[in-house]
Structures are given as structure tokens and as C-alpha cells.
Amino acid sequence: MTTAKISIPSRVLLLIVSGLLFGSLLFPMWRIELTAPQYPEGLLLQLHANKIGGDVQIINGLNHYIGMKTLHTEDFVEFVFLPYVFIFFGIFALLMFFVAKRKGVISLFASFILFTITAGVDFYRWNFEYGHNLNPNAAIVVPGMAYQPPLIGYKQLLNFGAYSIPDVGGWMMIAAGLLLFIIVVIETHLLLKFTKPKAAIILFALSLSVLSCSNANAVPIKLNIDNCSFCKMSISDGKYGAEVITQKGRVYKFDDIMCMVNYCKENADTKIGAYYVNDFAKDNNLIPAQTAFFLSEGTINSPMHGGIIAFSKENNAKEFAVKLNSKPISWDIIKTK
């Protein structure tokens, strides 16, 4: 029954939800980090519930050169009513703490999800308009180029890397949404449905599908177009190349496995999320470095004389070890060379 009272633990969670919703107004909701060689410390754009903050003036100056509209708080009607929306949800959650009606909690969760989707669509629209509606008479015009920041995650925009993620207030909103979901699961007994064999099979199949897509983040190297991030040479051979993806999603490509290793040593502060190397037995096929079989020395003639190649299959590695008079080497040793 949706009119039933909710449990005491759920009411306590509602009190926390209310606090998170009110507290989120004190912090930025979203942040867009911009990095480029001329700005080694990066630039930051922060979106609060009622204003734009961060390095706004510097970013506006850069936007002017490429024809983007400058950013001003008063240009966005969202900043007028967003604080009231968050206050409404905070009061709604607090009211449900006292009323303790299951139907009301479900309504709160549903309306919160609807608001989240609406806000996401509006944010995408805002990014699209600012990234595509460019001044044709700008100082810098790149035909066909748009400067739409990512909705979430990383995107390369000319020589700038743009990284878009929730800020403190945004994470508080996400936490509030997760707690509301937990309350709904507890009070509607949804968790019991996943104990059935059929549901278990579905969940197992989904987990397998996620594991099978673990290599989805690798970005193919564009031969004779992409340059090595370490030696700056054009990447022309798809058998020796490598790639790293940072935890923020930025991609660095290399024409030699040792270029990747040396780059990571020189940039030890960069948090690497994944390492990829090309399978020497195939043409420009990236594989996870942790699962690859490596050979070194012998007659291996890599572009920058790193002398290391990789394979996805051990049999191929053994075959080429004989042909190239080379020796096996582990990924752990390679990283310390």
C-alpha cells in the first residue's frame, strides 16, 4: 500500500537527504576544468545554483577570440529559480520526515528524477548553443569547428582539454538522489525481487556484458595524423604505438611503447586510468597493457628505438621471439625501465 507509513531508518535517511539538499546551495554544483600548455595550472569554471564562478574573466577573453559568447550570470534565467527548486526539494524531504507516507516519498523521488533529467537536457542545450553559435568575424575561425564542452567527462577542444564533472554541491545532490532511491527500494521491497533466480540470471548476464566491454575506452590511433605526446613525431606505424587514458578521460598517444613509459615518468603527477599497447601481430589494434605479452631486445626496430613490442596472444609472442631473436619481458619491468 502506498499510503503505509515508512520505517524509522527511512525517516532518518530523509532527514539526511533534506540536509544534503539545503547544504548543496552553499557549494558549486558543477565544474568545467580547462587545461592547455599556456595554462599549466588550468582554468576553472564553476556553476553554482545562482551564479557562475571561477576564472570567468579569463575564459571570456579566450571565448571572444574564437567567437563564443561571453558568460554572464544575468544571461541565464536558470540562476533565478534554481535555488528555489533546491529549497523546495529540501522542504519536501523534511516534510516527508514528519508525514512518513510511502506515497509521498515515491512522489518525491519521481519528481527529483524528473528534475535531474530536465536539468541535464537544459545543460546540454546550453553547452550546444554556446559551442556552436559562433561569431563568423572572430579573430580565430576554424572551418567546421565547434567548441561544445562535454556534458560530463573529457573532450579535446583545439589545444584545450575540457573536463566536466559535478562539484561539491553536485555530489551532494547525487548523494541525496541515491539515498532517496535506497528509501524507495526499502519501502517498496524491490530488493526482494532480485533474489529470484530469473533476476539473478539477468544481473549475471549484465555483469558479463560490462566485463566484455572493458576495452571500450581505447581510442584508435590515427596513423599519419596523430603525433606522439612524448617525442612529438608523427605516428606512422600501427604496430609499435601505445596510448594512455587518464582518470579524467584525457588521451595521450605514442609512436613507441618506451615513449609512453618515459612520458609517464616525466608526468608522474598525472593519474593514469588505463594503459594500452598495439598488438604487433595486427594492424593498429590497441590492447590493455596489463594483459599483453611483451618482447624486447633482438632485432626489434621500433620508431624511437625503444625495442619493445606487444602481443595479445602468447603463441604469437613466442613465434616472433624466434624470428626477432628477442626475449620476453613483463609489463611491471617495462614500467620501471
Digitized pLDDT (tens) for each residue of the chain, 337 residues in all: 445 788 999 999 999 999 999 999 999 999 999 888 788 778 999 999 999 999 999 999 888 888 888 899 999 999 999 999 999 999 999 999 999 899 999 999 999 999 999 999 999 999 899 888 888 888 888 887 888 888 888 888 877 888 899 999 999 999 999 999 999 998 887 766 555 555 555 545 544 444 444 444 788 888 888 889 999 888 988 899 999 988 877 889 999 999 999 999 998 888 888 999 999 998 888 999 999 999 999 999 888 889 999 999 999 999 999 999 999 999 999 988 7
pLDDT at residue 257, rounded to an integer: 94
Judge whether 218 lies within some domain: no
Q: 265 and 163 in one domain? A: no
Are 275 and 332 within 8 A, CB to CB?
no
pLDDT at residue 1, rounded to an integer: 46
pLDDT at residue 147, rounded to an integer: 86
CA 43 – CA 30 distance, rounded (Å): 14
Residue labelled with grid coordinates 575561425: 141
Judge whether 148 lies within some domain: yes
Q: 253 and 190 in one domain? A: no
pLDDT at residue 65, rounded to an integer: 85
Q: 139 and 77 in one domain? A: yes
Judge whether 226 lies within some domain: no
Total domain count for the chain? 2
pLDDT at residue 193, rounded to an integer: 59
Q: 189 and 47 in one domain? A: yes
Q: 132 and 37 in one domain? A: yes
Give the residue numbers spanning the domain of 271. Answer: 242-335
Model confidence, pTM: 0.66
Report CA 70 to chain centroid distance, whole Å: 26
Judge whether 258 lies within some domain: yes
Q: 70 and 203 in one domain? A: yes
Measured at the CA of 287, the angle between CA 165 and CA 151, to 5 degrees, comes to: 15
Tell me if residue 114 falls in helix, strand or coil: helix
Burial class from Cβ neighbours inside 10 Å (0-12, 13-18, 19+) for residue 115 reads middle
Q: 247 and 188 in one domain? A: no
Judge whether 287 lies within some domain: yes
Judge whether 227 lies within some domain: no
Q: 268 and 177 in one domain? A: no
Judge whether 40 lies within some domain: yes
